Structure 1
Amino acid sequence: MLNRRSFLRNTALGLTGLGLATGLNTRCSTGRSPLKTSGESAKLLVSNPDRPAPATFDRLPLSWYKATAKKLREKAGERGLKAVVLQNPWNIIYFTGLFHSSTERPFYAVFPVDEEALYWYHPGLDRDLVTSWWSNENEYYFDFLHSEGGHPEKGEITVGKTVDLFEWLLNGLKKRGFGESGIGFDTEFPASKLQKAKNILPKATFQDISDICLKMRMVKTPEEIALTQRAMNYFSQIQAFARDYILEHGTEATDFEVAEAARAFGVDLIMKDIKRDGRPHTAVGISVGISCRTGAATAYPHPNQFFHKKIERGDALQVSGVVRIGGYGGELYRYYQIAPWDAHREKLWEVVTECVHIQERESRAGKTCAEVAAAIHEYQVKMGVAKYIYHRPAHGAGMEGHQAPWLALGDNTVLEEGMMFSVEPGLYDPENGFGYNPSDNLLVTREKGVIMSSVPYTKEWMFLKL
């Protein structure tokens, strides 16, 4: 347990500072001076030789996307297909590298199986993004809903028939010679959509290839792993900043303030290293989402209230979030207990922490998701905390956050090297107004799961006296 008073004395810090250590000049919500912390918590971060080396690049190179798309085309070819159509935004980003916003506007990427080419069918507002990236040819509609012949950007203002943009895509495929071919889509069509496809391309066949796409995304390549590790290294420093901030500002701070300060620190920390010129395709896939909740809000897995509460002695407190670079990264949560606490809280915290280590030990290639989940749940039940269990221990981790497979009793997927998972064997006691839920990014290897952050799972780190 760390005492706030001794922490401040040992580091010769007062409650006010003259700016973030990284140079950001922001003010916290209470109006105190710009933020600064001692950096003492960073000294407690732990090294692990099993962790992969972090990437030195800010995003995956175009050559990686082209090689990955080639593998997709080969797998589609093995099923007798001649074209692949992607419409899931995560699949589009993964296989083409085009980071873009997903809205109600349909966006399609088309790969011919037998040639290295990429054709786009997309909304007009993204035309500069598309043509300045990997694109052999592109066609676009003005906007959703699109009027036939209506292109104000070309001086053509037509109030006419509303274009069915799925039929527009199908006609585009016909023009490209796929009218009598096997075409793979990364989704299963509902009956109405399948009927449209058969009406426009009666001699074509349609196959759902979402399983191919998902399987490729589930098992990460060395480049993806390295970029994830870089993001997790930054996130570990952000968590260290948040811990310092809690110790230095104590009960004068709100959970909202902790989160905002940590996010500001994290953005500055990351962006000073990102090469960028303000134009598209640099500084992509970057997110720094930090949250903090203290007290009763920790007692619920997915609370629905806004977090803006003063930190109080006796609170459970969670600092959580997701950090990504180039689309890669993961979750990192730490579950603090502010003094005083009782034996009940200490026991639940200890059970949660041991379950983290069980997941580490059990998450090796060849095990099933269900087997790992069962080992964790069996320990929880053995320790007499069954009533505090609310969810599975973890989910698969990918660009979209939650990704298959699931560390759940009903998922018999076999773990493979390169899969990634969250680490969330949380326990919750709403009756007493507290809960502890960790998370991390865990990499499956041949021997065990490797925790990718360097933030300790110790009482020294998480039991604090303010």
Structure 2
Amino acid sequence: MRGLLPSLSPLFSRSFYHISIRKITILSMEEPIYIFDSRIIQELYWNHLAKKSKKEVEMILSRRNFLTGFGLGLTGLHFGPKKGALSFGLSEKKSETLLIKDPDHPEPAPVGYDRLPLTWYKQTVERLKNKAAEQGVDCIVIGDSWNMTYFTGNFMTKTERPCWCVFPVKEDAIFWYSPGLDNELVKSWWSTGMEYYYDFPHARGGYPDQGKVVKGNTVNLFEWLLEGLKKRGFAEKTIGFDSEFTPSQMKTFTKVLPRARVIDISPICIRMRMVKTPEEIALIQRAMDYFSQIHAFGRDYILQRGTDATDYEIKHACEEYGTNLILQDIKRDGRPHNAVGIRVSIGCRTGRGTAYAHPNQFHHNRVKKGDSLQISGVVTIGGYGGECYRYYQIAPWDAHREKVWEVVTESVRIQERESKAGVKCCDVAYKVHEYQVKQGKDIQKLLYQRVGHGQGMEGHQPPYIALGDQTVLEEGMTFSVEPGLFDPENGFGYNPSDCLLVTKKKGVLMSSVPYSKEWMFLKL
């Protein structure tokens, strides 16, 4: 490779010879591509480009839409505009002009407000204490990882290692019982006191970090927690746990704290998480605004790469673009507690893979004319955001596909209109399914799933837009929008999604990506 670089000096500046190299294969091309990472230079058809003139090389690069950089841009080479690092080699970016900003969208959180502040979490815990106190609870124990993140704001990686935080109802305090590998995260965020075990499984007295190497005598960590509560004076109090006990846990609780009373406060916790505050909604809207731009990029990418692209390629290009787009706005210094709860998880499947509601196959298929194609995923900032899927049809299409697409799209509109505060979840689902069934047996047999699920930081959360859920919608609830139809017999399917915010008048779709044929019926 070193011998090759000087021969390309008319095209590539000497200042980039130090750049690292990785090799990939683009299926549409006969030969490998070398990507020079600074992150990026690209050299296509490396074994014969060196023999061509600068003009000929530029024509080839332009023809392949790589002039500003396939995937990551060539701004480091002074090719293209300054913001080319986000262009991913797209010669045209038309889709962003088609995005529709709904006047009912909430105000998004501003750049710099990348997560909820500690004051929000402390206020939320006070609300939890007030609700728990109504049931006579003296002490709250949080063990569920999603509840822990929601109430403390400490984004900790949940594994098999047990972790608990404890809130005395009548004290301004938080006590942690956690694994040693999280000590720095606990001490540097919000902590009144901390007890830790070295790691799971924990040997009694074994703390290598303190010079104590002990083996065997495995500690029951739930019992260890209860002993800690006893030392803090809760041996005869009412303790609220955020999960229902298993029989073995109940046995241990009775042994260690025979005079204490236990209450399951998980219904309080999930109810609070279901109804979002204005601060949470603002972060969701900001994430959905980014997601709309990612979808615009994905649509442009499909139009320009066409049948040269695979769904796998589209997925990764969208993820890379979205990550760069979001992280350029996120304040971070490498320390814990900033740049948290950020997720850019994009999916793409084309052709027969779209025909299944929950496919289990790996998606690495070339885009073909006549395919249905889905771009999907979840984007979050500070733990808040949601889903946004769009269901494309590549020309040509027939009347059956057009009808299925139209039924799906009208079902989205029905869910949007019916999702207002005071309505039951099952009533919204009934209206959608009633409409779908009335479209004929050819549509009925394509029904596989409920209409939607509640959206939270864990993804799926109660309640559900389903025939069996009688929960009453409240302002501030957020839902997915998935009245999809799937046709395995004909090898296609259309599944939408969005983040729908419940308001007094209707549901508000928080993305700006159109539900229109102009957006989703594509000719390559």
Query: Would you call these one fold, judging by a TM-score over 0.5?
Result: yes
Measure the CA separation in 2 of the matches of 1:23 and 1:257: 16
* Partners of 2:102 and 2:197 in 1: CA distance: 51
1:44 equivalent to 2:94? Answer no
Look at both structures and tell me which one has the larger radius of gyration over its CA atoms.
2
* 1:8-157 mapped onto 2 (5 Å cutoff): 15-19=65-69, 35-56=89-110, 57-157=113-213
Supply the AA of the counterpart residue of 1:53: E
> Which residue is 1:7 aligned to?
none
The one of 414, 438, 454 aligned to 2:472: 414
Q: Distance in 1 between matches of 2:228 and 2:89?
A: 55
Alignment map for 1:317-396 (pairs within 5 Å) = 317-384=373-440, 385-396=443-454
Secondary structure of the equivalent of 1:350? helix
Deviation readout 1:225-247 (Å, 9 max, x if unpaired): 00000000000000000000000
Aligned to 1:237: 293
Query: Shift of residue 39 of structure 1?
Result: 1.9
Provide closer, same or farther for how the CA distance between residues 375 and 34 of structure 1 changes in structure 2, counting only shifts above 3 A: closer
Give me the TM-score of the superposition, normalised by structure 2: 0.84
**What does the per-residue CA deviation read over 1:21-75, in whole Å, with 9 as the maximum and x for residues that have no partner?**
985889xxxxxx9633522100000011100000021000000000000100111
Structure 1 vs Structure 2 CA RMSD: 1.5
Gaps of 5+ in 2: 1-61, 77-86
Aligned counterpart in structure 2 of residue 425 of structure 1, from 471, 474, 483: 483
Distance (Å, rounded) in 1 between the aligned partners of 2:254 and 2:216: 26
* Letter paired with 2:271: K
Contact 1:122 1:141 (8 Å CA) reproduced: yes
**TM-score, L = length of structure 1:** 0.94
SS in 1 for 2:146: helix
Q: Deviations over 1:176-231 (max 9, x none)?
A: 00010000000000111101001000010001000000000000000000000000
Q: Tell me the distance in 2 between the aligned counterparts of 1:73 and 1:13.
A: 63
Cα shift readout 1:274-304 (whole Å, capped 9, x = no counterpart): 0000000000000000010000000000100
Are 1:221 and 2:277 matched, yes or no?
yes
SS of structure 1 residue aligned to 2:263: strand
Deviation at 1:15, TM superposition (A): 2.9
Instruction: Give the structure, 1 or 2, with the largest relative contact order (CA under 8 Å, sep 6 or more).
Output: 1
In 2, the alpha carbon distance for the partners of 1:123 and 1:464 equals: 52
SS at 1:388 equivalent: coil
SS in 1 for 2:445: helix
SS at 1:337's partner residue? Answer: strand
SS at match of 1:160: coil
C-alpha distance in structure 2 between counterparts of 1:20 and 1:247, whole Å: 15
2:446 equivalent to 1:398: no
Native 8 Å contact 1:25 1:34 kept in 2: no
- Aligned pair count reads 449
Matched position secondary structure for 2:172: coil
In structure 1, how many angstroms separate the alpha carbons of the residues matched to 2:369 and 2:292? 25
Indicate how the Cα distance of structure 1 residues 130 and 37 shifts in structure 2: closer, same or farther if over 3 A, else same.
farther
Q: Among the aligned pairs, what percent are the same residue?
A: 63
Question: In structure 1, what is the equivalent of residue 499 of structure 2?
Answer: 441
**CA offset digits 1:397-456 (Å, max 9, x no partner):** 001000000000000000000000000000000000000000000000000000000000
Give distance in 2, aligned partners of 1:363 and 1:20: 42
Structure 1 residue runs of 5 or longer lacking an equivalent are: 1-11, 27-32
2:322 to 241, 266, 270: 266
Identify the residue that residue 250 of structure 2 maps to in structure 1: 194
CA distance in 1, matches of 2:493, 2:336: 42
Report the CA distance between 1:16 and its aligned residue: 2.6
Maintained 8 Å contact 2:68/2:74: no
Aligned residue for 1:406, secondary structure, equals strand
